[in-house]
Amino acid sequence: MNVLHVASEVAPFSKTGGLGDVLAALPRALAQQGASRVTVVSARYGSVDPQRHGLAKRLRKLTVNVGGQHFEVGLFEGRLPGPGPQVTVYLVDHPLFSDRPGVYGPPSNPGEGYPDNALRFALLSQAAISLARELSPRPDVIHAHDWQAGLAVYYAQQAEWETPPATVFTVHNLMFQGLFSLGEVQSLGVRPELLTPDGIEFYGQASLIKAGLQLADRLTTVSPRYAQEICTPEFGYRLDGVMRARSGRLSGILNGVDYDRWSPWIDGALPARFGKPPAELEALSEEAFAADLSGKARCKAELQRELSLPVRPKTPLLVMISRLTEQKGIDLLIEWLDAELQNRGEFQFALLGQGEPAFEQRLRMLAERYPTRLALRLSFDEGLAHRLEAGGDFFLMPSRFEPCGLNQIYSMRYGTIPIVRAVGGLYDTVVDFDARSRSGTGFTFLPFTVAAVTNAVRRALSAYHSDESSFLALQKRAMRADFGWATSARAYLNVYKQAQSGK
């Protein structure tokens, strides 16, 4: 099986969220599970330093036709870092990408996309297909990701092939739909007859994510629960009708985690390491497991110092790493934090993230009012993200919706117990704690209300304080949970076979 991925992000070269992590891990997992060749095509943005990443520039450029416009693009070639079979990465080099400081929009206002994003990502999509036609052997499957690669499915089906590749399209977040004017999308080479409600027209505009949804041989999304949710009006963002019509071609495959990067016994970002692989952890007695967690206690103390919080080993530390957007439930979080800090609930809270200016301002005000209880870092810091996962006692995710989520999975491996709203991938990965049966890996709630968050957090804090043996068992179960990529990669290989066979 020869698979070519098309995506707007691939870590470590580019990353604004979970998409970059997925494209860093899934292709390697596919190769490890027997795919004969796996290739990733993305863009070389201005932030990508080819020398630092060991990228080599191909001597011959590609001529790419987008709606009658001809673009000369370069290609940087490299490898995905990590063990196992090699995965080749090609980064498309053109001023539309390399002369911009951000991926989708200016860093000063990342929520505002560049006005020519339709052309930028059409160029990426068509460049990927042009490259695919030059490769030997050619891909059996073109796997496109999110709206930025929606036109890759269309361009693949319009290209001339001796044996056309099958196409698979993955929805990572249906809220982002790639909406542009009909005229602008027609200028990208899309046939007029496709710009209809039965095609990719969407309430007077054209939707690039709809191109992938309507045209691909098979569809996937990033958790089983989210595959069900996007077929409903509540979570379908007005595309639920399309999803229901194509539900027979839709599979929900849970994102995996790259444990080579997210395991506390090998994590170089931590002041102390702890933990063991799940099989070894299972064999530890309660006493040995508690002793092993001394490394986590040190991580907590060092994190409190780093964040200028009082070093209090017995005070629960809740952490959160998130984009500051409504999707992530930040409005609910702020309302809950304001009420609980006023009530002088006995906990500390640390948040790392950036996003909507109004949310940032409200959080700053709270941090100024409660400097010994609330630590705020309005930035993206990969090292600090690892230290938060290791040093926290609980990880909070009050998302409105969550296609998959990765931080709740990272948290479990670090013995940091997730408190999550039971939607999407959070529902699929976190089992609610039950003290009587000594089961569960975290704490869940469903209503999107302050009362529901408050109840879940208070349940968690009660478990933390009331029975040390029970809480240790909870941490051990969470750390043993295995969400590696192998199972997910095998599921994708099966989807590729279905796409090839027309099933």
Strands (E), 31-108: 37-43, 56-57, 62-66, 69-79, 88-93
DSSP string, 236-266: HTT-HHHHHHTGGGEEE----B-TTTS-TTT
Q: Is 197 exposed, middle or buried (0-12, 13-18, 19+ CB in 10 A)?
A: exposed
What's at 142, amino acid-wise?
Answer: I
- Distance CA(26)–CA(348), nearest Å, equals 36
Which segments of the chain belong to CATH 3.40.50.2000? 2-256+486-501, 278-482
* 278-482 homologous superfamily: Glycogen Phosphorylase B; (3.40.50.2000)
pLDDT of residue 215: 98
pLDDT of residue 110: 63
DSSP string, 123-144: HHHHHHHHHHHHSSSPPSEEEE
Q: Is 136 exposed, middle or buried (0-12, 13-18, 19+ CB in 10 A)?
A: exposed
Would you write out the chain's pLDDT as a tens digit for each of its 503 residues?
999 999 999 999 999 888 999 999 999 999 999 999 999 999 999 999 999 999 999 989 999 999 999 999 999 999 999 888 999 999 999 999 999 988 999 887 767 899 999 999 999 999 999 999 999 999 999 999 999 999 999 999 999 999 999 999 999 999 999 999 999 999 999 999 999 999 999 999 999 999 999 999 999 999 999 999 999 999 999 999 999 999 999 999 999 998 988 999 999 999 999 999 999 999 999 999 999 999 999 999 999 999 999 999 999 999 999 999 999 999 999 999 999 998 877 899 999 999 899 999 999 999 999 999 999 999 989 999 999 999 999 999 999 999 999 999 999 999 999 999 999 999 999 999 998 888 999 999 999 999 999 999 999 999 999 999 999 999 999 999 999 999 999 999 999 999 999 86
pLDDT of residue 283: 92
Residue with the two structure tokens 């939707």: 207
- Distance CA(271)–CA(127), nearest Å, equals 44
Phi and psi at 142, nearest 5°, equal -100, 120
pLDDT of residue 17: 82
> 365-400 burial by CB neighbour count: b if 16+ within 10 A, else e?
ebbeebeebbbbbbeeeeebbbbbbbbbbbbbbbbb
pLDDT of residue 494: 97
| Domain over 2-256+486-501 is classified CATH 3.40.50.2000 | yes
Phi-psi region of 353 (alpha: psi -120 to 50; beta: other; left: phi over 0): left
Q: State CA 392 to chain mean position distance.
A: 21
- Distance CA(410)–CA(400), nearest Å, equals 20
**Half-sphere exposure of 467 toward its Cβ, with a 13 Å CA cutoff?**
13
Task: Give the pTM.
Answer: 0.93
- Distance CA(452)–CA(396), nearest Å, equals 13
Q: Do 74 and 64 contact (CB within 8 A), yes or no?
A: no
pLDDT of residue 112: 83
